[in-house]
Amino acid sequence: MEKAIIVPDEIVMNQIYFVRNQKVMLDKELAELYQVTTGVLNQAVQRNIKRFPSDFMFQLTDQEWSNLKSQIVTSSWGGRRSLPYAFTEQGVAMLSGILNSDRAIAVNIQIMRIFIRIRQMFIDNTELRLEIEKIKSKLDNQDKNLEIVFRYLDELIEVKNNPKPRKRIGFKSDDL
């Protein structure tokens, strides 16, 4: 039997950011979801650092952090002494191996499902975009074909309205 959702999906979705062409979640927000302090989360990661290569977790640069802060609208009062860590989808999955509380496991499952849903939405969007491009190219071809048809029709109408005198062949009468 499946447990009830611990955190509304919208909250989790709003905590997924796009940094370095990857979907990531920040250490502080993950810690809040798991109901641990950021220090405890980062300490557990540091103790298991071999599980977190650079494509699973990385520390944000000053520029990335200032860009994100403007999006997140965080206060400049108080705060961090170091730049936050960003966890990719694989990094979040790896967190489930080092944080063993029931809440951490349940939240991790929920986050994984949301990442999968986001990926599926992206795939569906891409497929839709490709279908639209196919339709556009067909319409472009039809436009070109219609243009040719109208050009031929214009030529036929021109010929009909301004017929060239035909050279008659055969028996000629003196009346002409």
Per the CB < 8 A criterion, the answer to whether 24 and 65 are in contact is: no
Report the range of poorest mean pLDDT among 4-8, 65-69, 120-124, 125-129.
4-8
List beta partners, residue 88: 24
Model confidence at 74, pLDDT cuts 50, 70, 90, reads low
> Structure pTM?
0.60
Q: Distance between CA atoms of 162 and 42, rounded to whole angstroms?
A: 88
Listed residue (118, 127, 121) closest to 18, CA to CA: 118
Question: How far is 128 from 142, CA to CA, in rounded Å?
Answer: 21
For residue 79, the model assigns a pLDDT of 62
* Strongest mean pLDDT among 37-51, 78-92, 106-120, 143-157: 37-51
Assess if CATH 3.10.260 describes domain 9-128: yes
In this prediction, residue 35 has a pLDDT band, given cuts at 50, 70 and 90, of confident
% of the chain at pLDDT higher than 70? 89
Residue 135 bridge partners (DSSP): none
Please return the burial class of 24, using the count of CB atoms within 10 Å of its CB with bins 0-12, 13-18 and 19+: buried
- pLDDT, tens digit, 9 for 90 and up, residues 91-141: 888 887 888 778 887 888 888 888 888 888 877 777 788 888 888 888 877
pLDDT at site 86: 92
Domain spans of the chain? 9-128
pLDDT band at 150 (very low <50, low <70, confident <90, very high): confident
Neighbours of 114 (CB within 10 A): 21
Give the pair of three-digit tokens for residue 18.
Answer: 């796009």
Tell me the average pLDDT across 32-61.
90
The pLDDT-based confidence of 87 (bands split at 50, 70, 90) is very high
